[in-house]
Amino acid sequence: MNTLRWIAILFLLLLAACAFAQQAASAGVDVPNIKLGIDKAHNPGEVASSLQILALLTILSLAPALLMMTTAFTRIVIVFSFLRTAIGTPTIPPNQVVIGLSLFLTFFVMAPTYDKINQNALQPYMAKKIGFDEAKQKAWSEIRGFMLAQTYRKDLNMFGHLAKKQYKNENDVGWQELIPAFILSELKTAFIIGFYIFIPFLVIDFVVASTLMSMGMMMMPPTVVALPAKLLVFLLADGWSVLTNALVGGFR
């Protein structure tokens, strides 16, 4: 029924648009015409600019994946998800809040790297002091340095073995091996932090379950009593600040 309703709404909107266009044409109002096509270029510079714009739009479409896979976002959002599960509130805070907080913490963690990219690559390229290839190389070197600092050597060696490559130094590591190794390392680190998050809340669950059993309250679910106790302990320990400080400090 919802699908039929949306189809009916779209149909009515199309009818209204057609009626408006017909009325505007009869009243002598100029209606804009939108055209998409390929025209003849007058010089090679126009072709190069068009290709750069196309490449930029392609990069923007891949920006969410690049943000998640090459920055601190993966570790932060997984740790916050573990925290919700450990407390026993899998939907509180909502996903929008968790993702928004993770996103802004990612910007905070990546700010030094992005500042270096802006100073060494973007600004010189905009001032036409360096070419596009050199700017791209400098920007990648900054991101690469951040990822190498957070990647386990074991994961790098694993992908190097799969690619049948021998690394003499870190400069020999290509992006094909570095990015998946970085993602695996971030997942491992996030799961390690998640394990430490679960321990105190698991102890509270054991204490509450043992107390209820000793009092003969078999029919009362332990989660009813454990949840307020977990929230109280988490608030008294200033858990949000402690966890955020630990996450950000892990990247510094």
**What pLDDT is attached to residue 72?**
86
| Per-residue model confidence (pLDDT) at position 1 | 47
pTM, rounded to two decimals: 0.70
Q: Is 98 in contact with 80 (CB distance < 8 Å)?
A: yes
Residue 50: pLDDT band (50, 70, 90) is: low
What integer best gives the mean pLDDT of the chain? 76
Contact 148, 170 (CB under 8 A): yes
Could you tell me which residue, 223 or 34, shows the higher pLDDT? 223
Q: Supply the pLDDT for residue 52.
A: 66
Mean pLDDT, rounded, for 71-95? 87
**Both tokens of residue 49?**
């600019």
Spatial separation of the C-alpha atoms in residues 37 and 165, rounded to whole Å = 46
pLDDT given at position 7: 47
- Percent of the chain clearing pLDDT 90 (strictly above): 4
